[in-house]
Amino acid sequence: MMTSEECVRILRELVRIDTVNGNERAAAEYLKSVLAEHGIDSTLIPYNDDRASLVAEVSNGSGKTIAISGHLDVVSPGDPSDWSHDPFSGDIEDGVMWGRGTTDMKSGLAALVAALIELKEGGGFSGTVRLIATVGEEVGELGSAQLAREGVMDGVDALLIGEPNNFGVMYAHKGSLNYRLVSKGTAAHASTPDLGSNAIDHLVDAMRLVSERVERAAARASNPVLGSTFHNVTLMRGGVQINSIPDHAEYEANARTIPEYDNAALMNDVRAVVDELN
């Protein structure tokens, strides 16, 4: 059986590996070595030179297959000087571990790895448990999409994801939709704006109208388990210099959707606004 000290060690080593989105291979290789120490074979599935997901499984006779899954990447820690501890230190103070990923979700991934090792060593189950550690969850869900295409989820009867949620076991989740809206204008000098067409102004109009339309539609639809759809503009880009009228601007947004107002319906509303503005 895994001791608590061994589990903490696995988590600390994971936290110490900088896996800000785009740099997960080192963490996958570390987990491969941990599993090998306990007699469990695993496979690295490259996404590109710096990124690789990991798949491993243990079986004990015939039965159903459950997948246990977590992601290797973390979001950027921002300015490290704003942290009381280095974001990739894994420092432990008063029983609390500090570092990017200690919650989302290297702790969950370390727990799943420990569980797989204990199942391998202890038996006591029938069927197959498949560990899937993915790249690119924070931006793009890249690893999960790749592994699904490559058949890693084939034959799986149930899936348990170790993502933190503060509410215990969750059996349903909102959908996630990312989209980008681009505004094109005509460049001109800021001293002669009448000769140009300001792409940022047009983009602001689009953001306002899309947000209003989505908010109205979301207010009319709800789900008894998931609540309502919501929509947030999260990135903006536009302009090249202070004294030029911009000819290009864009925003990116993320929506969390429900079956009653789903991805397709929300995008229909976005496209309707774009058509009206065009």
Query: Would you name the residues annotated as active-site residues?
Result: 73, 137
H helix intervals, 123-242 = 142-149, 199-219
How many helices (H) and strands (E) the chain has is answered by 6, 12
| Residues forming beta bridges with residue 223, ordered by sequence position | 227
Q: Are strands 127-134 and 65-71 parallel, antiparallel or unpaired?
A: parallel
For residue 82, count other CB atoms closer than 10 A to its CB: 8
CA distance 171 to 112: 18
Half-sphere exposure of residue 160: CA atoms within 13 angstroms, side-chain side:
16
Written in H, E and C, the secondary structure of 55-91 is EEEEEECCCCEEEEEEECCECCCCCHHHCCCCCCCCC
- C-alpha 90/C-alpha 17 separation (Å) is 10
Reference 272, options 221, 224, 209, 229; nearest CA is 209
On whether the CB atoms of residues 35 and 112 are closer than 8 A, the answer is no
State how far Cα 16 lies from the chain centre: 20
Cα separation of 109 and 28, whole Å?
A: 11
**Rounded-to-integer distance, Cα 137 and Cα 47, Å:** 13
